[in-house]
Amino acid sequence: MKGIARKLGESRGEPEWLIELREEAESYISKAPFPLEIKPLELETYDPMGKGDVELPEIKSLDDIPDNIREMLIKMGVPEYEWQKILGLIQVDTSSQVTSFKEYFEKQGVVVMSLLDALKTYDWLQDYAFRLMPYKTNKFAAYHTAYWNGGIFMWIKEGAKIAYPLHTYFLITEGALAQADHALIIADKGAEATFVEGCTAPPLVRFSAHIGATEVYVKKNAKVKGIVLQNWPEYVNTRPYTNVQVEEGGEIEVAVAILGTGKSAGRYEEIHLKGKGAKATVHSISFVKREEYLDDVIKIYLEAEETSGLIQTKGVIRDKGISNSYTHIESDQGACFSKGHIECSGILLNSGGAHTTYPGVKSISPSSELTHEAYVGKISEDSLSYLMARGLSEEEAMALLVKGYIEPVTKHIPFEYLKEINRIAELVAKGGF
Amino acid sequence: MFEVKNLHVSIGETRKLRDINLNVKPGELHVIMGPNGSGKTTLAMALIGHPRYKIDTGKIILNGEDITGIPMHERTRKGLFLSFQHPVEIDSLRYLTFLLEALKKNGKSPDVEWIKRVFEKMGLSEEFLQRNVNSGFSGGEKKRAELAQMLLLSPKYAILDEPDTGVDVDSMKFIAGAINESLSRGTGIILITHYARILNEIGKGFHVHILAGGEIKAEGGPELAEKVEKQGFGE
Ligand SMILES: Nc1ncnc2c1ncn2[C@@H]1O[C@H](COP(=O)(O)OP(=O)(O)OP(=O)(O)O)[C@@H](O)[C@H]1O
Ligand SMILES: [Mg+2]
């Protein structure tokens, strides 16, 4: 694939340093190892120039929606006015709506633009872009750095506090749903913002592989909340990679809902708490059903005193779904009086699938306190009988128990998405998927 | 009327109950007493339709309708209720969420204020509704919560499996109060108990059935309960 990286970079008019970075990464792809926890993909089979490999009907209006997709949207109760967004019918970068959005954002202290424009506009971004996930990390990072082909830059300026959630997905300003999209988020000192990535319904995409990456910088005393919603169509393999760096007094809180993994999903998320008192919390819920496959990796590194990390993951597995949950909290020498806790669990709704948890903690700091707990089980027969003796049918009882089980995670997800998530929980519990 | 006719019940391959007959009219109280392991809980479970308890022959009839074969949740919706001897703890479901759902399924209005009042009447503060179902409840609290559910669902017929076991004097008052209230509303009650103590709190007459070794061995009025209390089941 040699030479493609330069061609790609030049065709987009990128600065030379970026093209060179692409080239270095490109020459490293073949040498780079796959990450240990994540299922490999045959990257050679995909076209890095971004030509889609999935044939989609041309969708110009809601009337062109294929029946199976329409059925799914109705089943999930997605309001019709959301369909346009989901189907990518709104070309955000050309619509005047976005221009006014941008002006509005700028008044509030938020800069939103395509990553490419940002890299051309702000020289100092050289110190940020692609730094949190060096291409040498693994094969996906190398591939992504060499061939990324779309992305967004969001910068919350010092002290700005944004009350409404910012949707990174709908604002991807070039090549919406590119095969390798890159998000760069900077929350400056004291800034506060909530980001939403993805949506609860499966997007129609032209690529069967998605190697996306997100870099997040949380500066001193900044607070960032991230809501990640994923529901991929069944022909898609995704390998998203997220790396977050938090400075002194900063906080990151992430809530992840994986509603559909597509053919396979390998999520990798790494958070580094670099400054005193920095905090990270990750809550994740995943539904893995039919023949879906998930590797979910969440790691928190405590690298300064009084830092704390919490990971809670819950998996709901049905049919032949396979789910692997890798969680890790590690404190280094300087992390005095740091704390970390991992809680992972999974329930199997029927037989045929599997859920495996690999919780791990590692400490070299004597005053650091790290704990973990894990369990995998099924919905208890006695609980089901009890509810049935109160008038709930078996399916209704199952749905209620599943919703109750995921509640500790869903309570961190904003109300407007909950209805759909609960509906999916119900469909999964009742076997309607 | 709630009728049990020539009921034979097995768990697995083992016959546990033989030829049980009962006729309960609205507002009547039927007391079932019997030694440990005599099959009282088995009877309660078979009547509510728990799948682990197999009805070999016989019939269960609710107001003329044969409900012997229908699933548990449908029996409940038709007005049958069971207060469990050992209510399960469900660690991931809030009591209030559960109750609202149960009320809806039984065609009752899911009115939170009303639920709070009934819980209060049973000596249970609002806080219990925020907790998970029976999770960490004391023995007495579990039983009171079961009877609060009976008051909320106001079933046509209720089977109460040892609501008075392991409860203190105050809890006993709440429980007897709930039984009296339900009886006066016309609910027919089958009360499984080991003690005559609770019967002293009941404001009306009742029937007593002695179950031993899976069969009803004796029947009578309140005097039979007194006799059991004094002499045990040895006969
Ligand atoms: N699931 C089961 N499998 C096998 N045997 C069982 C099962 N459940 C109950 N039994 C047996 O059936 C018999 C009747 O039990 P049951 O629970 O009905 O007694 P009980 O009269 O309610 O006793 P207690 O007064 O102690 O509550 C007992 O010998 C018990 O061990
Ligand atoms: Mg019993």
Q: How much is the pLDDT for A75?
A: 67
Same domain flag for A239 and A388: no
Is A351 part of the contact surface with chain B (CB cutoff 8 Å)?
no
Residue at A339 is within a domain: no
- Residue A294 — pLDDT band, cuts 50, 70, 90? very high
Q: Is the pLDDT of residue A349 over 80?
A: yes
Q: Is the pLDDT of residue A97 over 90?
A: no
- Residue A199 — pLDDT band, cuts 50, 70, 90? confident
Q: pTM to 2 decimals?
A: 0.88
Is A383 part of the contact surface with chain B (CB cutoff 8 Å)?
yes
pLDDT tens-digit series, residues B112-134 = 999 999 999 999 999 999 999 99
Q: Is the pLDDT of residue A402 over 70?
A: yes
Residue at A370 is within a domain: no
Residue at A312 is within a domain: no
Among candidate residues A241, A258, A274, the one where a domain is terminated: A274
Residue at A308 is within a domain: no
Is B85 part of the contact surface with chain A (CB cutoff 8 Å)?
no
Mean pLDDT to the nearest integer, A129-135: 94
- Residue B29 — pLDDT band, cuts 50, 70, 90? very high
Q: Is the pLDDT of residue A85 over 80?
A: no
Same domain flag for A152 and A34: yes
Residue at A364 is within a domain: no
Least confident range from A160-169, B29-38, B143-152: namely A160-169
Q: How much is the pLDDT for B46?
A: 98
Comparing B215 with A163, which gets the higher pLDDT?
A: B215
User: In this complex, do A391 and B106 lie within 8 Å of one another by their Cβ atoms?
Assistant: yes
* Ligand closest to CA B15: 1
Among candidate residues A224, A240, A274, the one where a domain is terminated: A274
Mean pLDDT to the nearest integer, A312-341: 96
Q: How much is the pLDDT for A330?
A: 97
Ligand 1 pocket: which of B16, B194, B195 to mutate (most atoms <8 Å of CB)?
Answer: B16
Residues in chain B closer than 8 A to A390 (CB atoms) = 73, 76, 98, 102, 105-106, 149, 153
With CA atoms as reference, the chain B residue closest to A379 would be B90
User: In this complex, do A404 and B97 lie within 8 Å of one another by their Cβ atoms?
Assistant: yes
Q: How much is the pLDDT for A9?
A: 92
Mean pLDDT to the nearest integer, A158-175: 70
Least confident range from A100-109, A415-424, B41-50, B196-205: namely A100-109
For chains A and B, what is the number of CB pairs under 8 angstroms?
73
User: In this complex, do A400 and B101 lie within 8 Å of one another by their Cβ atoms?
Assistant: yes
Q: Is the pLDDT of residue A48 over 80?
A: no
Q: How much is the pLDDT for A78?
A: 64
Domains of chain B: 2-231 (3.40.50.300)
Q: Return the structure tokens found at A330.
A: 């590690």
Among candidate residues A251, A274, A297, the one where a domain is terminated: A274
Q: Which domain holds residue A49?
A: 4-274
The total number of structural domains in chain A stands at: 2
Is B106 part of the contact surface with chain A (CB cutoff 8 Å)?
yes
* Mean pLDDT for chain B overall: 96
Residue at A64 is within a domain: yes
- Residue A1 — pLDDT band, cuts 50, 70, 90? low
pLDDT tens-digit series, residues B185-204 = 999 999 999 998 899 998 78
Residue at A323 is within a domain: no
A residues 388-417 closer than 8 Å to B (CB): 388-394, 396-397, 400-401, 404-405, 407-408
Same domain flag for A13 and A149: yes
Q: How much is the pLDDT for A71?
A: 73
Residue at A357 is within a domain: no
The 3-state secondary structure of chain B reads: CEEEEEEEEEECCEEEEEEEEEEECCCCEEEEECCCCCCHHHHHHHHHCCCCEEEEEEEEEECCEECCCCCHHHHHHCCEEEECCCCCCCCCCEHHHHHHHHHHHCCCCCCHHHHHHHHHHCCCCCHHHHCECCCCCCHHHHHHHHHHHHHHHCCCEEEEECCCCCCCHHHHHHHHHHHHHHHHHCCEEEEECCCCHHHHHCCCCCEEEEEECCEEEEEECHHHHHHHHHHCCCC
Same domain flag for A263 and A387: no
Of B73, B90, B97, the CB nearest to A388: B73
Same domain flag for A395 and A260: no
Q: Is the pLDDT of residue A90 over 50?
A: no
